[in-house]
Amino acid sequence: MSTKDIIAEMLSLPIEQRAIVADSLLKSLNPPDSDIDDKWLTVAKTRLEEIRSSNVNIIDGEEVFKKVWKKFP
């Protein structure tokens, strides 16, 4: 079976199954690293707590992108 045939077969699958195939392929290229995942989880929990406790100023995402586009047209 050629690569083209495999791709055609995968594209004929329902979206949920395509997502599983895509996830599996990506993991095979870049295997998960639980140490890195744990560090990101810690960062995410810390940032969530900062937001909930009002210790940080929250800027709307659209506003952030407007500023970026002004700097880098």
Per-run averaged pLDDT (10 residues), the chain, 73 residues = 94 96 93 91 95 91 93 86
Q: Residues 23-33: pLDDT tens digits?
A: 999 999 988 88
Q: What is the pLDDT of residue 26?
A: 93
Map out the domains of the chain as residue ranges: 1-31, 34-71
Q: What is the pLDDT of residue 61?
A: 93
Q: What is the pLDDT of residue 73?
A: 77
Q: What is the pLDDT of residue 55?
A: 86
Question: Do 49 and 56 touch, CB atoms closer than 8 A?
Answer: no
Q: What is the pLDDT of residue 31?
A: 86
Backbone φ and ψ of 7, nearest 5°: -60, -45
**Residue with tokens 């407007």, as numbered in its chain:** 66
